[in-house]
Chains A and B, each alone.
Chain A
Amino acid sequence: GQQVMQIPQYQHVQEGEDFTTYCNSSTTLSNIQWYKQRPGGHPVFLIQLVKSGEVKKQKRLTFQFGEAKKNSSLHITATQTTDVGTYFCGTGGSNYKLTFGKGTLLTVNP
């Protein structure tokens, strides 16, 4: 099945700095989904990308799907303490099963 590697595993930033997490695969992905899990919470869906080269924005968050559909990134501009959490990427195949990366834990120093 499809597998995704997510880097970095941890990222600590000062409030106001930018943050990026990457999701990479050795095979072409049909789609990529991003989720955020706040400390003590459960993963919550952020966005889905399906097209080669697709870029989507949600306020300070920018999501990209690579041209070859083998990688994706989530970039947060000017982080805030509310951005703290673990960000997961996931990809699904034809059987509706999502395979997740191990996540990137973001901590923000106020």
Chain B
Amino acid sequence: DVKVTQSSRYLVKRTGEKVFLECVQDMDHENMFWYRQDPGLGLRLIYFSYDVKMKEKGDIPEGYSVSREKKERFSLILESASTNQTSMYLCASRKYSYEQYFGPGTRLTVT
């Protein structure tokens, strides 16, 4: 059974903290993605990666960075968390142009 896992379901951080969100997939997918989901705004792409050490900016990359050192792992980094980064963060992976598999999400609250 295919699986995308995320390191935390819920996370509370303080303004200015550095935050790491981890995502692991066990399907040997080339492509991995980070989205944030906010009410009324749908799924907005932050960054994606199509290979190890390769990354591309999505629609809202400001304030975020990513790391992909291994094929199965894609990390999202908030260098200095701010309250407007309070959101649901969803990781996903995909092989070529087939269906996308999402992780369970991390609900991040920045206080």
Give residues in A with beta carbon < 8 Å to B.
6, 9, 31, 33, 35, 41-45, 48, 88, 90, 92, 95-103
Stretch from B14-22, B62-70, B78-86, B94-102 at the A interface: B94-102
The tally of CB-CB contacts under 8 A between chains A and B is: 54
Interface pairs A-B: 3 shortest CB-CB: A102-B42, A45-B99, A42-B102
Tell me the complex Cα distance, A48–B99, Å.
8
Asked if residues B58 and A96 are in contact (CB atoms below 8 Å), the reply is no
Q: A residues within 8 A CB of B100?
A: 33, 35, 43, 45, 90, 98
Mark out the residues of chain B between 11 and 54 whose CB falls within 8 Å of any chain A CB in the assembled complex: 30-31, 33, 40-43, 45, 48, 50
Q: Which range contains the number of B residues in contact with the other chain?
A: 20 to 34
How many whole Å from B25's CB to the nearest CB in chain A? 13
Give residues in B with beta carbon < 8 Å to A.
30-31, 33, 40-43, 45, 48, 50, 56, 58, 90, 94, 96-105
How many whole Å from A21's CB to the nearest CB in chain B? 13
Q: A43-B102, A97-B58 are in contact. Are A103 and B42 (CB under 8 A)?
A: yes
CB-contact partner of A96 in B42, B97, B102, under 8 A: B97
How many whole Å from B28's CB to the nearest CB in chain A? 15
Asked if residues A95 and B56 are in contact (CB atoms below 8 Å), the reply is yes
